[in-house]
Amino acid sequence: MFAGLAFMQPVKRWVNYSAEKKGNADIKVVSFNTKTGMKDRAEVNAYLKAQEADVILLQEDAGKSYGLKGYEIVSPNGVLTVLTRHKIISQKVLRPQDDDDKIPGMQIDIEIQGKIYRFIDVYLFPFKFEKQMVKLNGDTDANEQKVKDIVKRLIPTFKTHQDQVSLIREAVENSPYPVILAGDFNSVPNSYEYYHLSEDLQDAFLTAGKGSATSFHDYKFPIRIDYVFSSKSLQAVSYRVDRSVSLSDHYPVISEFSLNNK
If one counts the domains in the chain, the total is 1
CA 108 to chain centre: 15
Q: What is the CATH number of the domain that holds 153?
A: 3.60.10.10
Mean pLDDT, range 90-107, rounded to an integer: 87
Q: What torsion do the CA atoms of 160, 10, 171, 177 make, to the nearest 10 degrees?
A: 170
* Residues 149-175 pLDDT 10s: 666 666 777 788 899 999 999 999 999
Q: Give dist(CA 201, CA 23) in Å, integer.
A: 20
* Residues 39-64 pLDDT 10s: 678 899 999 999 999 999 999 998 87
**Whole-number pLDDT of residue 3:** 41
Label residue 132 exposed, middle or buried (CB < 10 Å: 0-12, 13-18, 19+). exposed
Q: Which residues pair with 29 in a beta bridge?
A: 55, 255
Q: Give dist(CA 158, CA 85) in Å, integer.
A: 36
Which domain does 111 fall in, by range?
2-258
pTM: predicted TM-score of the whole model, two decimal places: 0.84
* Residues 101-150 pLDDT 10s: 789 999 999 999 999 999 999 999 986 555 555 555 555 655 565 555 66
**Please, are residues 223 and 215 in contact by the beta-carbon 8 Å criterion?**
yes
Strand pairing class (72-74; 55-59):
unpaired
3-class secondary-structure state, position 141: helix
**Please, are residues 95 and 77 in contact by the beta-carbon 8 Å criterion?**
no
